[in-house]
Structure 1
Amino acid sequence: MSYKEQDPGTGTYYYKKSKRLILQDGSFNVERIGSFGRFRTLYQWLVDTSWSVFFVLTGSVIFLFNLLFALLYLQIGLENISGAMVTHDGYKDLLTAFHFSVQTFSTVGYGALSPVGESASLVSSLEALLGLLISALSTGLLFARFSRPNAKLLFSNFALYTSYKKTDRKSIQFRVANKRSNVLMELEATVILSLEGKRKDGTYFREYFRLPLEVADIHFLPLTWTITHIIDEDSPMKNLSKKDLLEKEAELIILIKAYDDTYRENLYTRHSYHITEFQWEEQFERIFRVNNEGGFTMDVSRIDALKQKESHSE
């Protein structure tokens, strides 16, 4: 039985030796240049990036925006801001201008500080207008991040090349768990093996094989799911040693589809294991147990836990 696949969309011929196709975070190892729609790309990046990066970047933009206008108010002169006390101390005056800038930017307007004269009124009007625009953009991005459904599947940091259930057969295994407490249903896993080869003319090519799985789909994922490919007579890995897999830059390309019961939508998650991220002849340790109340307790942080090998004394 042949499990060879055509080009899955990542190309089959290359002029130089390539590395992994998909990074561990699920993103493609592709640098895009010369593309259009930079604003759209920036918007997508701001929606996709981590929360910490989003808040640091948003906070920095707002801070620098207010600092810029604070310097403008200082240039105009604090005497053009009613209620501002001019101390001729650079730091204190900047702090006063910054506070006025924040009030104008946020349209709070406590009443203690207000612009006087055409210059200050013009700058404050411009800041209020731009402040509304930045606030609207920040709010829109925040809503887009909250409302965007995305799967948070946690993958083990490595895959295993190990014995299958204490038999002579070998297998490839990796483990996934739901990082969130929401319900994922009707999960389907697709695993493709990518192998690199070299032609006589010095160019490189890749071959792709869909690996049959012991269990390719499950109905629910409340605990962990160990996805297993058994290396039998029909497996494309049956005659490949560890050295062969390293030379061929072997990579497991993984796609998992799931239905999110919270958002009522199908979600997709990509992942990859390069051959350098394999552990050999190890076994995963079970990370859930039955508690005293008869329910289950699972420590998701131990998804990489391995069984301790038995030591035999002479």
Structure 2
Amino acid sequence: MLKKVLKKPPSPRSSPVGRGDSHSRTHDDYANSGSFARGEKVRRKVFRRSSKPVSVRSGQVEFLKLNLQRREYRDIYQWVLSLKWPEFALLLAGIYIILNLVFAAFYALGDECIAGMRSGSYYDAFFFSVQTLATVGYGHWYPQNLYGHIITTIEIIVGVFGLAVMTGLIFVRFSRPAARILFSKVIAIGPLNGRPTLMLRVGNLRAQSMVEAEFRILFTRDEPIMEGDTFRYFYSLKLHFDRLISFPAALTLRHTIDEQSPLYGETAESLTKSRAMFVASVVGIDPVIPAAVQTQQDYTWRDIRFGQRFVEIYSEPSDGRLTVDFGRLHDTEPVGEQLIPRT
């Protein structure tokens, strides 16, 4: 059966997360103190909580955050950068149209504030707003009273500021590097040199080699404790190699399942019961920018293939160049029965 880590002090590589912390003071302990009461009043004034839950997805797991502080205006910047390009383009187009519609309404409400514009024509006011917002004038329409000058001045300021913000956002999105790493769809566990080994394959889809690449596999599962509760433990799996000076194509990450491994004694049933998950991470430097890039992929117990290994994707033709078949990066083949030692 599974060798329980809880029989001994947690490994330095592991970190428990549970539903409660028995070493922390309770809320009532703090509430009895006057400093807590005063601090609580200040906290309620400064930090207003949002009643709307916030959904955050990390791979295949979705977290629903409750009772968060209200979002700050600076969060908008992160949100805009996280949008996909079609969503980003639609956002800019929507803001542009809304601004013109708003300023067109002000022009239409003015009593002949724009020379050459038909009185009360929202159609003319809209296109005059388009010209003003872009600081482009064709000479036919122009403000002719104080009201018109004030509105056009405000719109020009908004247009100049908006153009600067839009240019900055587009530049940041174009200049931000992104790792194009392909992870295998499954994790294979099979014998390697007579010992059970966990294997995961990654491939670099860029035309350039990633430099100073670092690889990590995080293993997490639920484990019972003596108090009867369940804690979530995290383990950093020791890989055969966890960094490369140059990462040009594809490689297989390997972790030997021995007595020191948190996977020692695990079975498909035990991994399912403990809701086991794996998170593979690749961090490196894009030599073109150059800048650090990072990407990750998570796996559940459903993605594990016992008694399998990845097929060979490297070949060396007669010209001496190595050929890498990315079309077979996810393929596995049987290599024997499950060989995870039992305790």
Matching residue within 243, 253, 266 for 1:240:
266
Partner in structure 2 of residue 13 of structure 1: 18
Matching residue within 34, 58, 80 for 1:23:
58
Give distance in 1, aligned partners of 2:179 and 2:134: 35
Residue 82 in structure 1 maps to residue 108 in structure 2: no
Contact 1:15–1:202 (Cα < 8 Å) also in 2:
no
Partner in structure 2 of residue 273 of structure 1: 299
Residue 109 in structure 1 maps to residue 137 in structure 2: yes
Partner in structure 1 of residue 84 of structure 2: 50
The amino acid that maps onto 1:249 is R
Change (3 A) 1:180 1:105: farther
Report % sequence identity.
Answer: 25
Give distance in 1, aligned partners of 2:216 and 2:107: 60
Q: Matched residue of 1:5: which SS?
A: coil
Change (3 A) 1:263 1:277: same
Partner in structure 2 of residue 225 of structure 1: 251
Change (3 A) 1:43 1:226: same
Residue 192 in structure 1 maps to residue 192 in structure 2: no
Change (3 A) 1:160 1:40: same
Give distance in 1, aligned partners of 2:293 and 2:239: 21
Contact 1:71–1:97 (Cα < 8 Å) also in 2:
yes
Partner in structure 2 of residue 211 of structure 1: 237
Give distance in 2, aligned partners of 1:56 and 1:278: 40
Q: What TM-score do the two structures reach when normalised by structure 2?
A: 0.70
Pair member with larger Rg: 2
Residue 306 in structure 1 maps to residue 306 in structure 2: no
Which structure is richer in relative contact order (CA contacts within 8 A, separation 6 or more)? 1
Partner in structure 1 of residue 149 of structure 2: 121
Contact 1:84–1:96 (Cα < 8 Å) also in 2:
yes
The amino acid that maps onto 1:60 is G
Contact 1:5–1:207 (Cα < 8 Å) also in 2:
no
Q: Deviations over 1:4-54 (max 9, x none)?
A: 33555xx522259xxxx98229x9957485457712222223234333332
Change (3 A) 1:143 1:292: farther
Give 1:65 shift: 1.6
Give 1:124 shift: 1.9
Q: Deviations over 1:64-115 (max 9, x none)?
A: 22222223333336x54334456x8xxxx54433222221111122333323
Give 1:58 shift: 2.2
Name the stretch that deviates more: 214-223 or 239-248: 214-223
Give distance in 2, aligned partners of 1:241 and 1:276: 12
Give 1:55 shift: 2.2
Matching residue within 188, 191, 198 for 1:161:
188
Give distance in 2, aligned partners of 1:292 and 1:110: 68
Q: What TM-score do the two structures reach when normalised by structure 1?
A: 0.75
Partner in structure 2 of residue 4 of structure 1: 11
Matching residue within 173, 178, 203 for 1:177:
203
Partner in structure 2 of residue 259 of structure 1: 285
C-alpha root-mean-square deviation of aligned residues, in Å? 3.7
Give distance in 1, aligned partners of 2:153 and 2:292: 46
In structure 1, the gaps of 5 or more residues are: none
Matches within 5 A, 1:59-78: 59-76=93-110
The amino acid that maps onto 1:162 is I
